[in-house]
Structure 1
Amino acid sequence: MSEPTFRQRRLGRALQLLRERARLSQKDIAERLRYNIAKVSRIENGQVPDYSAFETMLDVYGVIADDQEPYVEMWQLAEEKAWWHQYRLEDQGYISLEHDAAVILTFQASYVPGLLQTKRYMRALFASVRSPRSKKWVEDQIAIRTRRRQRLESDKPVRYHAIIMESALRHADREQLSYINEVAGLPTVTVQVIPDSVGLHEGYNGSFTLLDFPYPSDPRVLYVEHTEGSIHIEDPARVKSATLTFKHLSKLALIPEKSAALIGRLAAER
């Protein structure tokens, strides 16, 4: 079974909060729905209930008709098949986070960030993996990343702030470097570069991404990729620590105008 999407987890969290506000246990609602407790737990962790069960939950939790619309919208979004479903993505957990985010803050120590990559750079990355991938897999991944980039220029664009180490740009060709500066010109995009001259800093601990969402009740999420996969973290203390690290790295980095000038110089040398 695939990992629940951000929208599904949001619905589950909302239903859990309603249950707790009504001072009911998982056992109480399981008895009302004739479910076992394990199924109620799965729903609160992102499994979408059928609409009949969902309506019963709202009724039992005391949500009156006039107040149900936001929860119905959450259920509809959780049930909706997103555009990436056709690709059978292994990392749909992150794609769904990125898709719904209002703000993305990313620090990249080794590569050009995904939303700033050209197709040629993507192909070079996929060709470098230890286990060869099929041509279809590569083309699907390129299509996915290209589609993800649309968030930067949509009617409601995501606010995107990328901090990149200069060393991560060493294997980028002129086209890739020029494209970074092109995207950095968008009003909702900020790109900063930490020059090699800064020396050792916290960024050498690894890349990470922070995501904010339009719903005030949704926590900021920390997303980290590693050799064997990835993890997203909502623990407030760890998210706060990563946020402070991002702010510190932003202070170490060149301001956007000087970053663009450095990227331009690197492009001219290619």
Structure 2
Amino acid sequence: MITDIESATPALCRLQLGSELRQLRQAAGLNGRQVVRKLLWSSSKLTRLETGDNASAEPSDVIALCEIYGASKEKRAVLQGYAAVTKTRRDWWQSAAYRPVIPPGFKAYLGLEATANVVQNYASEFVPGLLQTEAYVRVIYDHAHHGLTEGELDSLVDVRMTRQEALLREKSPLRLTAIINEAVLHRAVGGSTVMRDQLSHIADMASRPNVRVQVLPFSLGLHPGMNGPFVVLQFSDRTALRPIVYLENLSDAWVCRREGDVERYEEAFTDLQAMAPGPHESLKLIKEAVKEH
């Protein structure tokens, strides 16, 4: 439970609201189908509420669910407080400047990343987003999104740069562990100058106490990340939110919440950490790649 709702972000309130509503439904012995029949809702509406995927939550919907679940007066007040925050405040990525250029699947991820206290990222082709330089980001987006106006490209770059502020905040900075495939170091994205600056930036960020970077060398051969990149997000104990996995490909992006699947990715990341050289040896590989470029 959030102890200070007034200072909580809308993203955190949405996720916490969804988690507690799901727990209430399960405690009442009800499945989703039974609930939506009672309220004449679509099943997707309840799912979006329980996963925190809506931009905001209607207090009247929360009241209706609390009535069905037999929630206590105190619990109802707390959940209505969460809903009120989502209605009266907006996360930074919901601004008019960013909304048009951010796909729905990535908006869901931004809310999760903004709420997480630990991010574990295995990157196989690109530098992890939280460690990318502005020049590197611009080259990637310019290549991937043909037909963008200069303003739209600027907005996408701004989104990436704003996300990185979580690593630099004074109070409870986001903790990042990034495992980078060696191929990422040698792939010349944007040319030599862009790559030298990019790799030097990774080295600089890796000196921060909340950032750990490991490089997975070619010489290790087969490894648990060969099916592609992934991100595991973990949350503070005070939120009671379970770890979540984020995946993306050329045409889509999605969040995986199924407990068994999440555990597989957590185990894969743990294995990758054990296989890869530690931060000190990895830093040597990064510096060698800087010279190569």
Place the TM-score, normalised by the shorter chain, in its bin. 0.7 to 0.9
Instruction: Say whether 1:42 aligns with 2:45.
Output: yes
The CA distance in 2 between the partners of 1:238 and 1:232, in whole Å, is: 11
Residue 76 of structure 2 corresponds to residue 54 of structure 1: no
Asked whether the equivalents of residues 27 and 37 of structure 1 are also in contact (C-alpha less than 8 Å), the reply is no
Q: Does 1:119 align with 2:134?
A: yes
Q: State the SS of the aligned residue for 2:144.
A: coil
Query: Are the equivalent residues in 1 in contact too, given 2:216–2:276 (CA < 8 A)?
Result: yes
- Which of 209, 215, 219 aligns to 1:197? It is 219
Aligned to 1:16: 22
Change (3 A) 1:69 1:163: farther
Gaps of 5+ in 1: none
Give the 3-state SS of the residue equivalent to 2:158 in structure 1. Answer: helix
Give the counterpart letter for 1:148 in structure 2: R
One-letter identity of the residue aligned with 2:58: D
Does the C-alpha gap of structure 1 residues 135 and 20 become closer, same or farther in structure 2, counting only changes over 3 Å?
same
Identity %: 27
Comparing 132-141 with 110-119, greater Cα deviation is found at 132-141
Aligned to 1:131: 146
Question: Which aligned pairs between 1:1-270 and structure 2 lie closer than 5 A?
Answer: 7-8=13-14, 10-23=16-29, 35-38=39-42, 42-46=45-49, 48-55=56-63, 57-58=65-66, 61-68=69-76, 70-79=78-87, 80-86=89-95, 87-88=98-99, 89-90=102-103, 91-129=106-144, 131-154=146-169, 155-170=171-186, 171=188, 173-214=195-236, 215=238, 217-270=240-293
SS in 1 for 2:164: helix
The answer (yes or no) to whether the contact 1:15–1:44 under 8 Å persists in 2 is no
Q: Residues 269 and 93 (structure 1 numbering): CA distance in 2 closer, same or farther, change over 3 Å?
A: same
Instruction: Report if the CA contact (8 A) 1:163-1:249 is conserved.
Output: yes
| CA-to-aligned-CA distance 1:189-210 (integer Å, 9 cap, x gap) | 1100011222232322110000
Q: CA RMSD in A?
A: 2.6
Cα offset for 1:25? 7.1
The residue matched to 2:126 in structure 1 has which SS? coil
3-state DSSP class of the match of 1:231? strand
| 3-state DSSP of counterpart to 1:204 | coil
TM-score, normalising length from structure 1? 0.86
Unmatched tracts of structure 2, length 5 or more: 1-10, 190-194
Whole-Å Cα distance in 2 between the matches of residues 116 and 108 of structure 1?
A: 11
Q: Is the 8 A contact 1:26 1:37 kept in 2?
A: no
SS of the aligned residue for 1:128 comes to helix
* Aligned equivalents of 1:180, 1:42: Cα separation in 2: 41
Amino acid in structure 2 at the alignment position of 1:220:
P
SS at match of 1:224: strand
TM-score, normalised by the number of residues in structure 2: 0.79
> In structure 2, how many angstroms separate the alpha carbons of the residues matched to 1:245 and 1:28?
37
Number of residue pairs aligned between Structure 1 and Structure 2: 263
Q: Which moved more, 1:207-216 or 1:140-149?
A: 207-216
CA distance in 2, matches of 1:266, 1:30: 56
From the superposition, tell whether residues 265 and 29 of structure 1 become closer, same or farther in structure 2 (CA, over 3 Å): closer
Secondary structure of the corresponding residue to residue 192 of structure 1 = strand
Alpha-carbon contact 1:223-1:230 (below 8 Å) kept: yes
- 8 Å Cα contact 1:12/1:43 also seen in 2: no
Q: How far apart are the structure 2 equivalents of 1:30 and 1:132?
A: 42
